[in-house]
Chain A
Amino acid sequence: MRYFSKLLTLWFILLFVLPAMAQEKTLDFSTQIRPVLDKHCFSCHNVGDVAGGINLEKYESEGSLVEDGEVWLKVVKQVQSGQMPPDSEPSPTAEEHDIIVKGINSILVKSLSDNNPGRVVIRRLSHTEYSYTMLDLVGVDFNANNFFPADGSGGGGFDNFSQTLFVTPLKLERYYEAAEQILQQAYQNPGLWKNLVPFRYEQQWWEQAGNWTLGIFSEDFTPFNDPALAAQNIIYPFASKAFRRFLKNGEKQSLLRLFKKVYTSLNDKPNPERFNLSLLETFKAVLISTNFLYRLEEESAYEGSYQLSDFELATRLSYFLWSSMPDEELFATAYRGDLQDPRVLNRQVIRMLNDPKARRFVKSFATQWMGIAKLNEESPVDPERFPEFTTSLRQAMFQQSVEFFNYALLERKNFLDLLDSDYTFLNEELANYYGIDGVTGSNFRKVELADRTRGGVLGMGSVLAATSLPLRTSPVLRGKWVLEEILGTPPPPPPPDAGVLPAEADTENLSLRDLLVVHRSKPGCMSCHSKMDPIGLGLENFDAIGRWRKSYGQDTIDASGVMSSGETFDGPNELKRILLEKKETFARNLSEKMFTYAIGRSVQFVDEPTLQKLQKNLLDNNFNTEKFIIELVNSYAFRYKVNDYSKKLNES
């Protein structure tokens, strides 16, 4: 139980160490503590020779130490108990011992009481975010996921994780081509182009110009027949929206310079074509700029943590809840400068969650969390073994989940519905497939369930198929999925020789349950498989493509089992009831997942106080989604930033 041991350790520090520490003077890590570590620890735990998988030499500053606080808690324990340094090495003096134990302890304690927001690395837009931003900014619906090389995922398994979003020459070339295609599409479409360039240059354009609003970034509009002057009234608001902040003078100048350069050399083209084509090249520069492609947050001269600027906060908020740039109102709020006011912030969150764009967040977060995001594109099972699992059915299953998540999280506003519910969403095809009467037509609608078998995510074809092997169900995979994704308590990896069943067993004629019993008979496998297998076997009434079955051919399915924590159950409905009782574990896991998605980095040691607040919020408010998201958005980690502890490139 990861979470309880963490709590215990924290209580230990806060109750016993903190008071003692209060009198201690804080030691400086790099000048006072590190030299002692160098003397006693680095000879084994160094960069090149990582003894026991622990490399202590790489920590050069307090910031990096705090980030891996759990490692350092272990260090303190080991030194305190005298287990390290080993007997073969010289022992530290009493004074050195104190420097390590008390010095590090006080740094860790301080980091927890400091409201440390943790270091965040700038995030490139994910491909999904890129698509939505283009839709909101230019109006073109562009499928970025098919056009760009894929990204990996990090942290909680999300595609918006800063450190796994790379730019390479190939990707940058695609960004250029994408910008070209998108702008060409907009140019070919008079309606869209009019939104970007609301007048025809060299016509009576100033008459129309009076009618359009430049939005909050507009400057006083003085009609002039100078193309550059006309152009800047188009370029600046566009770039400003795209960069999600005010433009700097240098940026304005360089964009205008590009416009003029193109305009001057296109002198063989008539206007407005000449004017428009010059704008198009300038827009292209905006759309491949770092200011657009990355969500940048500048460092402040201030030491310690500081508030994000209002525009930065607006951007975090809109990419969290809309997977896209802020809208006019959010920009206007940031412009007024009161977004950091909790009442204003909370009002915005509620407004944003009620906007249809919040469905993007739900889809992105929930389908990636549940591991079904890929289901829309490819089948997890073998098409020849399961010809019934058609593309249309597969996509219906995906859509069912999305509709369900939207309703549960945005309308019912309750996370517990994910575990079990007395309703689901169906269309005719899926209802027939599940054997539920009375649903006609291809549209999805809410259907009350007399029998809860299909309630919650564990009754969904999407999850059940995604956790199967191509040819059959895998109770191990399904059990692992519940432990990992629902409870956040993944079993450790299998030992290196796993997968080799006893050779003498005649595996051909054994049932799946018997096979797993053989599996568990190996001592190395037992401890984890006794946690995973019963859960998976409890879901065996669902076949590999989520159909209900009572037997394997002649043999009746036995879906009863005992959880490793002792509860007994028979079948999925009772299993779900047991999961519903594990509220604390579910709340902790949900907090970690959503935190990672919102902030874009993994949970760190310093986040412990925030995570405890989030968990408590869920438990106190019966898993209300709105209250939880408000708590998260108000957290230090979401609203604050701390400077990077490493030396800057231009400083070293």
Chain B
Amino acid sequence: MIARAVRWLFLALIATFLAAPLLVVTGVSFNGTARMSFPPAHPGLLWYGTFFADKGWMAAFTLSLGVATGAALVAISLAFPIAYVSWRYRSRAARWLETLARLSFVLPLVVLAIAFLIFWSALGHVGRIENTILSHAVVFVSLPLATIALGFRSVDPALVEAARTLGARDEDVLRTVLRPIVLPYVVSGTVFVFILSLNEYIIAYLVAGFEVETLPIKVFNNLRMGFQPTMCVGAVLFMAVGILAFSLVAASGDLPKLLGGRAR
């Protein structure tokens, strides 16, 4: 009985802690005046109108979506071959690449950002959208790598053997046996990179922040110039995209299993 109450209280406190800032931002976005107050004064959709009518904010928002899409696609094009070769051939080269890919995720972000800043400057290729896309792709590649590797590990070897016995070549096995099993893992890996790239600030800022102003960069720049509830609208949109994307993953697959937990 007491154990139950303690457990409930603990979960409620954590949930409050995790939800509080999100609730405040959402609340402030509904203010009817330029004041950043919570609870909102004269609630209304004033700042949503401002956001969608403002070319600058909309440009930052669509630019962020474009960068994130590009980063997610590039990351998958890197992660899938590595995970496949590692599973199919137990190749040492693939394992080396895996280590290299993991490395970039476990290092302090700010250090990566400086390394990328130096890299793109040394190439003389500054302020381009490709810088942001490629940098995000290689920093976050370890996530799809992990999910896709999980996918390949969940394949029953007997299935593959049966297909081979019936004369299937590698391409056939890949297309008919592996694709349906591994696809949900590929999708969830793509979503991870998309959402993380959408929200990443310091790398995006250092590699091309002046020219490629994504939404987090724009919000950050606005933080110094004084607040406006429009910033909250941007934040709310980003949260909505995150909730939508992860809910879709959860609805279309087995989320606990995709995250490495026990299957249903």
Partners in one complex: no
